[in-house]
Amino acid sequence: MHKLVKATIAAAAGIALLSGGAGTFAMWNQSANVSVSSIQSGSLSLTPSSTAGAWYNAAGQKIDIATYRIVPGDTISFKQDLTISGTGTNLAAELSWNALQSTSQIAGATAELSVTGAGLTKKSDTVYTVAVTNGTISTTANATVTLKFDANATGGQNSTAAFSNIAFTLAQVAKA
């Protein structure tokens, strides 16, 4: 019987080892950490210059719009500079603005908005593409609102032309 007990103990030990103890069914594995670093996003910025916009007459002289009184045939302009900057490896951007709205009661008054600046290309009446060089944008947009008053207009004395704010937007667009 002594042999039977030894055989039973040996069989139990063999089963225990084979079922996952410290035996031969162990799976091999290895692990390693890989450094992937961090990802940095780019930027896009549009800010009015620190110098406030100003009004000018047709001769280019600065005027005080609070005291200036237009007459038929006048042309006046409001000028404001905007600083455009941005970075991004695949950056593409457009500058746009809302259409100029007027509650003008002055007969024959028309308004036009134009933008000039290095790296700005007109895409439509209210959209300009912004040039990106080596993933960087750095330019100044010179925005001008020009108001023209018809020389042949006969109405509108002592009237007011009020204009809504112009909202400029600098937006990233899909790179072509």
Q: Is the pLDDT of residue 142 over 80?
A: yes
CA quadruple 18, 23, 26, 30: dihedral, nearest 10: 180
Q: What is the pLDDT of residue 111?
A: 77
At 10, phi and psi to the nearest 5?
Answer: -65, -40
CA–CA gap between residue 54 and residue 56 (Å, rounded)? 7
The widest CA-to-CA distance across the chain, in whole angstroms, is 131
Does residue 17 lie in a domain region? no
pLDDT in tens, 81-110: 999 999 999 999 999 988 666 666 677 777
CA–CA gap between residue 118 and residue 120 (Å, rounded)? 6
Q: Is the pLDDT of residue 176 over 70?
A: yes
Between 5-9, 77-81, 83-87, 120-124, the lowest mean confidence (pLDDT) is in 5-9
pLDDT band at residue 14 using 50, 70 and 90 as cut-offs: low
Say which CATH number the domain at 57 has.
2.60.40
Average pLDDT over residues 75-82: 94
What average pLDDT is seen over the chain? Answer: 84
**pTM (whole model) above 0.85:** no
Does residue 6 lie in a domain region? no
CA–CA gap between residue 123 and residue 51 (Å, rounded)? 28
Does residue 16 lie in a domain region? no
The angle subtended at Cα 113 by Cα 110 and Cα 118, nearest 5°, is: 155
**Boundaries of domain holding 122:** 44-172
Q: What is the pLDDT of residue 59?
A: 96
Does residue 98 lie in a domain region? yes
Better pLDDT: 171 or 13: 171
Torsion sign, CA atoms 149, 102, 160, 77: negative
Helix (H) or strand (E) holding 27: none
Q: Is the pLDDT of residue 23 over 60?
A: no
Does residue 112 lie in a domain region? yes
Q: Is the pLDDT of residue 157 over 90?
A: no
Structural domains of the chain, count: 1
Does residue 102 lie in a domain region? yes
CA–CA gap between residue 94 and residue 170 (Å, rounded)? 6
Does residue 27 lie in a domain region? no
Q: What is the pLDDT of residue 108?
A: 76
